[in-house]
Chain A
């Protein structure tokens, strides 16, 4: 399958703790993107990291990319209950902006 694989499938933590989600893929990629989905809503783009970048930060988010291992991780620091959502990695495999999405990690942050 060309889909990305994410682990863990589910993660439950307490407020203030850090949350780390991992994504692995099989093809060569131009970039990798992370999205968030609140329950019953659409996906929201969080961050894009290009293949020539190793690490990128956005607020409490830190994304790493290791193209030699074909893997990426998303770290959310000092988590909040409002971070409770599903998180998906996605990457392009062909022309025209088509993305392949991972299965997602369900993050639950307990207050």
Chain B
């Protein structure tokens, strides 16, 4: 069965800390995504990656960076955490068929991050 695993379900960090959120998928998918989800704002794409070492900015990349050194792992980094980054973070992956998005995304269970 398809599995996307996020390293933590809940995380509490302090303002100014460097925070790492890890995501691993076991489906050999090319695409991986990081979203944040906030009440009233829906899912917003932070960054995505379509191959190892490749990354593209999503809609709200400011304050974040990503790393994809291996195909199965996609890390989200908060360079200097701020309180407005308190949110639910969701990782997802999908495969590419003929170069277009006709494949579903598979999501992890999310990391609820609180920045104090």
Interface residues in chain A, defined as those with a beta carbon under 8 Å from any beta carbon in chain B: 3, 30-31, 33, 35, 40-45, 48, 50, 88, 90, 92, 95-99, 101-104
Residues on the A chain within 8 Å of B45, using CB: 98
Interface residues on B, range: 20 to 34
Give, as a whole number of angstroms, the nearest-CB distance from B54 to chain A.
Answer: 9
> Judging by beta carbons under 8 Å apart, are A31 and B101 in contact?
yes
Interface residues in chain B, defined as those with a beta carbon under 8 Å from any beta carbon in chain A: 4, 30-31, 33, 40, 42-43, 45, 48, 50, 56, 58, 90, 92, 94-96, 99-110, 112
Give, as a whole number of angstroms, the nearest-CB distance from A93 to chain B.
Answer: 8
Give, as a whole number of angstroms, the nearest-CB distance from B41 to chain A.
Answer: 8
Closest to A31 in B: B102
Once A50-B102, A96-B56, A103-B42 are accepted as A-B contacts, the answer to whether A43 and B48 lie under 8 Å apart by CB is: no
> Judging by beta carbons under 8 Å apart, are A96 and B109 in contact?
no
Residues on the B chain within 8 Å of A95, using CB: 99-101
> Judging by beta carbons under 8 Å apart, are B107 and A99 in contact?
no
> In the complex, what distance in Å separates the CA atom of A45 from the CA atom of B96?
16
> Judging by beta carbons under 8 Å apart, are A43 and B101 in contact?
no
Residues on the A chain within 8 Å of B106, using CB: 45
Once A3-B42, A43-B90 are accepted as A-B contacts, the answer to whether A98 and B101 lie under 8 Å apart by CB is: yes
